[in-house]
Structure 1
Amino acid sequence: MPNPKSPNEIDVTVGRNVRRIRNLIGMSQETLGEKLGLTFQQVQKYEKGTNRISASKLVAVSHALNCSIAQLFADIDASTNTVPIPSVSVAALKLAGQFDKIASASQRDAVSKLVASMARHDATQSPLVEE
């Protein structure tokens, strides 16, 4: 039997998505709290899944983050037949957000090739080798 004091996995996932989207757009917990009429501590509790976000507050969060409600529920499927979205760093999310703003397809391709090349290079480097 699940511990009644433990956060529900869905609440944790929604909170994780709120945090992911908030970080992607570069918004602080304080700013989100101000937009929602909450303290940053309450935003922290929402993001950890410690406190559940009500339906009306979910709508307010989606407006404050300029995202769809569906994005807040990403990686949740009642049938559990979906592939989960891999966890990525905040830096990677910010990079992805900036990458999508590059208008030129050839520039996006060049950036993709550069990052792939750098990642391959780092993977072949010995941790004892200094540059």
Structure 2
Amino acid sequence: MKKRGREKKEGLNEVDVFVGQRLRELRMLAGLSQSDVAAGLGLTFQQLQKYERGFNRVSASRLYKLAQFFRVPVSVFFEGLDSQTGSPAAVSDTHAAESVDANTLRSREALMLARYFQSIRDPQVRSALRELAERCAVDDGAGPAAGSAAGTYGHAAGRA
């Protein structure tokens, strides 16, 4: 019996998984559901879900449309790829799924915090929250973060 799609032994490509994670981050930061984004691009939410999980590869033309939709440069989908992956080699379905699942809660919390932070208009309150977060991170030994989703993707949240 012939199986449809990729066979299990082939695994997922690290680049496809990375681009999918970026897509998910942009969507969540904008406060949009998979159905919202899919409808805006003429897709089904299942297609978008497969893109986000790295099961389906995003074509160049679709990536361009996604960048236009979120009002970001196409390069946003690849920022940080070199430091995360040694080479664009395939990874197993299990490894990719574990990686996505392990980062889901942290990613969701960070994106939601960035989204809420952007909606604060009072500069003093924003400054106080930034300082509080920095002190908490230093107290936990994590140190200040090198970059933030708010700074990198701040212009995407305006579509909420």
Please give the secondary structure, in 2, of the residue aligned with 1:50: coil
Structure 1 residue 42 and structure 2 residue 47: aligned?
yes
Q: Determine the C-alpha separation between the residues in 1 that align with 2:112 and 2:71.
A: 16
Relative to structure 1, the CA distance from residue 101 to residue 70 in structure 2 (aligned partners, 3 Å threshold; closer, same or farther) is: farther
Task: Name the one with the larger helix percent.
Answer: 2
Q: CA deviation at 1:47?
A: 0.5
Structure 1 residue 108 and structure 2 residue 113: aligned?
no
2:112 corresponds to: 94
Q: CA deviation at 1:29?
A: 0.4
TM-score by length of 1: 0.71
Runs (5+) with no aligned partner, structure 1? 82-86, 124-131
Percent sequence identity is 39
Please give the secondary structure, in 1, of the residue aligned with 2:113: helix
Question: How many pairs are equivalent?
Answer: 114
Deviating more after overlay: 39-48 vs 107-116: 107-116
Q: CA deviation at 1:67?
A: 1.8
Relative to structure 1, the CA distance from residue 65 to residue 118 in structure 2 (aligned partners, 3 Å threshold; closer, same or farther) is: same
1:52 corresponds to: 57
Larger RCO of the pair (alpha carbons < 8 Å, separation 6+): 2
Relative to structure 1, the CA distance from residue 30 to residue 107 in structure 2 (aligned partners, 3 Å threshold; closer, same or farther) is: same
TM-score by length of 2: 0.60
Instruction: For 1:6-17, list aligned pairs within 5 A.
Output: 6-17=11-22
Kindly name which structure, 1 or 2, has the bigger radius of gyration based on alpha carbons.
1
Relative to structure 1, the CA distance from residue 105 to residue 13 in structure 2 (aligned partners, 3 Å threshold; closer, same or farther) is: same
Q: CA RMSD in A?
A: 2.8
